[in-house]
Amino acid sequence: METTNKDIQQIKDEWNQQGRKYASDVNAMVEFGETKGWENWKGEEPKDDRGNLAEAVLQVLKAANENNTVTQFRADFPPAHTPLIELMKEKGQSIMQLQFIDAQKIVFVTGTAYEQRQAFILNNKDILELDASIAAVGKSKQNNVFAIAANNSISTTQGWEGPIIATFPLDKAKDIGITELIPFNDGLKVLLVSSDGIYIISNTDETMIHPLPDPEDDEWEPYMDMENATLSNDNKYIVVGDQAYDHRVLDSDGNEITEIGTQSAYPDFCMFSKDDKQLITNSCHFYNGITIGVATSDFQNINIPAYEGGEDCITIEDGMRVYCGVSTSEFYILGDAFGYIKAVDTKGNSIWRHFLGSTITGLTISDDEKTLWVGAASGMLHKLQLNQGVRDDHTIGTANHYEDFRMVFWKDEPILTW
C-alpha cells in the first residue's frame, strides 16, 4: 500500500512524541539509579512502543536516500535503536575492525571472523567497497602501519596503501577466522587473534602464544571463546586472554611475565592507556562485567588473585561487559554489550555515557580525538563529533556528542545513510 504524505506526517508525529518521552524517561531512570542506588528504583522500566512504525520509517529512509533528502529525513526522524530490533535480528551484522586512516577516512569490515566478510573505506560519507578476498584489517599502535589479511597471506604497509614492509604467507594459521589483527610498530611482526589460537606472525615463524597446551591431553585443541589480546603502544608487552584463561602478560616475544586474575567469570577484553602506564582488563558474566586497572611499572611483582582484586589493581568500571575500546589522552572509551559507549579515566571516574544500541563491536578515533566512529552488531556504523552538542532530544546518555550520521549495513539491503 502506498504511503501518503498524510500517513508520513502521522508516523513522524508518533515517532517524535514517543521517542522524546522514551529518551527522557530512560535518562531520568539511569540518573536515579546511579545517584540514589538501583535498589531504590521502584518505577517501571521505560518502554519504546514504536516497533509498529519501523517498516514504514525504513521505507521513508530508503526514499530519502534515493532522493538525496537524508538531511531532512534525519531532522524529521531522529534515529533510534529499540523500534528496529526485530528488523535487526534478521538483517543486522557486526561492524568490526575499525581503523582510522586520516582526515575523515576509516577502513572497516562487516561480519564476524567466520562469516564472509566485506571490507569498506568510509571517507566522509562516501563508501568504497574493497576487494572481497580481504579477511581482516589492522593498524599498529604507533607509526601508522597497516596490516591486511587476504588469501591466507598478511601484508603490512607504511600507511594505508603505502609501501609494503613485509608479507607473511600463512601456514599454521591458514584458513582460520581472524578476530583481530595488530601489526607491530615496525611492521615486521603481526599479532593474530583467533578462536583457534593467538599467534605472533613473522618472516621466520608463526608462534602460537595462547592458549597454553595441556601436556596431559593428547587430543588438546586450542579452540577458545571470547579470545582477546592487545599490544602496548610501545610494543614492549603483549596481553592475551579468553573465556577459560586469566589474562596473561607476555613480553614482545611471547614469554609470560605474570597473570592477572579474573574479577568476574570470563576474561574478555584488555587495553593499555595511551601513555602505557596502565593496563585495563575486563571480565564478564552474562551482560555485565568488571574492568580493573593495573600499573605497568612493576608487572614482575604484582599479585592479583581471581575474584579478590587486591592493592595491585583498582576498579575502573564495575558494570560493563566490554567488547572494544580506544585509549585517548584523557580517558578510555569503552563499548559494551548493552549498546553503550562510556568514557572512564585511569582512576575509575566516569566521564560520560552515550547509548547507541546493540552490542558495540568496533571503535576508532581520529588522531585529534575529535571524531569517533562506532560499529555495532545492529549493522549500524555511527560517526560522532565529540563534545559538539547533542543533535536532538531523542538522545540517551550524558555525553555532549553530535552524531553526523549513522550508516546502515544490513544484509541483502542497500547501504543507507540516516
The runs of H, that is alpha helices, within 314-414 are none
**The cell 597446551 sits on which residue?**
213
Backbone torsions φ then ψ of 317, nearest 5 degrees:
-160, 140
Rg (C-alpha) for the chain, rounded Å, is 22
In a 3-state reduction of DSSP, which class is residue 22?
helix
- For the chain, residues with pLDDT lower than 70 are 1-3
What is the rounded end-to-end Cα distance, in angstroms, of the chain? 24
Helices (H) and strands (E) in the chain, counts: 4, 29
Q: Per DSSP, what are the bridge partners of residue 96?
A: 109
In a 3-state reduction of DSSP, which class is residue 88?
helix
Q: Can you point out the beta strands (E) in 243-370? A: 245-251, 256-260, 266-272, 278-285, 288-295, 314-317, 322-327, 332-336, 340-344, 350-355, 360-365
Preceding amide of 169 cis, omega within 30: no
Q: pTM for the complete prediction? A: 0.96
How confident is the model over 2-35, as pLDDT tens digits? Answer: 567 778 999 999 999 999 999 999 999 999 998 9
Please report the pLDDT score of residue 5 as a whole number.
Answer: 73
What residue ranges do the domains of the chain occupy?
A: 5-76
Residue 164 burial (CB < 10 Å; 0-12/13-18/19+)?
Answer: exposed
- The alpha carbon of residue 248 and the mean position of all alpha carbons in its chain are separated, in whole angstroms, by 22
Distance separating alpha carbons of residues 398 and 189, to the nearest angstrom: 41
Please report the pLDDT score of residue 2 as a whole number.
Answer: 56
| Neighbour count for residue 301 (Cβ, 10 Å) | 8
In a 3-state reduction of DSSP, which class is residue 15?
helix
